[in-house]
Amino acid sequence: MHVDPEIIRLLAFLIGVIAFAALNAAYLVWLERKEAGHIQRRIGPKEVGPFGLLQPLVDGIKLMTKQLIVPAGVDPVLFRIAPILVMVPAIMSFVTIPFSETLVARNLDIGLLAIFAFASVNVLGLLLGAWGSRNKYAVISAARVVSQNVAYEIPMLVTVVTLVMITGTMNLHNIVMQQQGGFWHWNIFNFSASPLMPVAFLIFFVCMLAETNRAPFDMAEAESELVAGAFTEYSGMGFGVFFMGEYANIVIGASMATILFLGGWDCPFGLFPGVHWFLIKMYFLIFTVIWIRWTYPRTTFYGLLNLSWKILIPISFFNLILTSAMLKVF
């Protein structure tokens, strides 16, 4: 029987992408706990398996065996659909991320656009879940999440538009290919396009933190203010899926920063480019994200909006104009 190789390829990548997302979600929790432990001069998880490596597995089993409580008074449809709305787009985004020159599930010409389209669904999931919970803390959190994401999507997208102007393509594969051949070719050091590129990277990184609701911008959860924010009413795997979606979004954010600014799978000094370089850069960024979380206190909501509207957006627009001028002149 003849099977279309395209179908086999699709299936393989589907399984691969889901496995990658799930494995990352699980082991980033382990990494986060381990790293937090070392930052706080503790050891972190160590009992389950060597170095606590089986901890995520046990956590997963624990979450799955817990009762899924759907509180009386919640909107049953929205309440159940919200975690899925957070998780699915996150997994979908992995489809178009090129991990190396050949390792990509689907090389779309509008890959960049697709990822940002999927990323914005995440907010909707949180909003619906919080609204459906009929919990005051959750609703406050939802209001925060939406305005936070609106505020931070603007500088992020303006920065990305700047990048698209420089690269002239939205194909992630091509964007990386243009940055091959050592770190001085990477977009973060692309001074001929704009002297503000490192700043643009910083803006992108900060926006990524805010978009993924990570500390110091974790307004959505803010456990000392809003108990658990949007997730207050969730229990068991409903909460677990939200959690996984959050980590998947961090992976995507770090991957995007790697692809757009740090040359994707390119080696900084031109030796053996490949998927390992992509992963090293990505996990370094994730490590930084966790590092920031366990070092800084939380900002306030208005401080966060002020940062976006008064600092990030003007700078990113200035960078946009500067880049377009320089592209025109040189």
Partner 1 sequence: MSAFAGSEANETFVLNLGPQHPATHGVLRVKLTMDGEYIVEAEPVLGYIHRMHEKMGENRTWAQFLPNTGRMDYLHALAYNHGYVSVVERAAGIAVPERAEYLRVITAELNRVSSHLLWFGAFILDLGGFSPLLYAFDDREHILDLLESVTGSRLTYCYFRFGGVYNDIDDNFVAGTQAFIKRLRGRMPMYHNLVTKNIILMTRLKEIGPISAEMCRKYGATGPVCRGSGINFDVRKHEPYSIYPEFDFDVPVYEQGDSMARYMVRMDEIEQSLRIIEQALDKLPEGPVMADKVPKILKPAKGDYYHAVETARGSFGVRVVSDGSNTPYRLKLRSPTFSNLSLFGEACRGMLLPDALALMGSLDLVIPEIDR
Q: Which is nearer to partner 1, 109 or 225 (CB)?
A: 225
**Could you tell me the smallest distance in angstroms from the CB atom of residue 298 to partner 1?**
3
Site for partner 1 in 102-141 (CB under 8 A): 136-137, 140
Closest listed residue to residue 130, CA positions, set 31, 22, 222, 252: 222
Closest listed residue to residue 166, CA positions, set 132, 213, 200, 116: 200
**Could you tell me the smallest distance in angstroms from the CB atom of residue 232 to partner 1?**
11
**Could you tell me the smallest distance in angstroms from the CB atom of residue 227 to partner 1?**
6
Whether 145 contacts 138, CB under 8 Å: no
Stretch touching partner 1 by CB under 8 A, among 22-30, 77-85, 125-133, 223-231: 223-231
Both tokens of residue 306?
């002020």
CA 228 to mean position of chain CA atoms: 20
Does 40 contact partner 1 by CB under 8 A?
A: yes
Closest listed residue to residue 162, CA positions, set 278, 329, 325: 325
Does 43 contact partner 1 by CB under 8 A?
A: no
Give the total of residues touching partner 1 (CB under 8 A): 27
Does 225 contact partner 1 by CB under 8 A?
A: yes
| Member of 51, 284, 296, 309 binding partner 1 (CB under 8 A) | 296
Q: Which is nearer to partner 1, 40 or 102 (CB)?
A: 40
Q: Which is nearer to partner 1, 187 or 212 (CB)?
A: 212
CA angle 99, 100, 106 (to 5 degrees): 65
Whether 166 contacts 330, CB under 8 Å: no
Stretch touching partner 1 by CB under 8 A, among 48-56, 58-66, 114-122, 293-301: 293-301
| Member of 14, 15, 42, 76 binding partner 1 (CB under 8 A) | 42
Does 202 contact partner 1 by CB under 8 A?
A: no
Does 295 contact partner 1 by CB under 8 A?
A: yes
Does 229 contact partner 1 by CB under 8 A?
A: no
DSSP letter assigned to residue 300: P
* Angular region, 82: left φ>0, alpha ψ -120 to 50, beta rest: alpha
**Residue 2: Cβ-neighbour burial (10 angstroms; 0-12, 13-18, 19+):** exposed
DSSP letter assigned to residue 312: I
Binding site for partner 1 (CB under 8 A): 36, 39-42, 136-137, 140, 143, 215-216, 218, 222-225, 227, 294-303
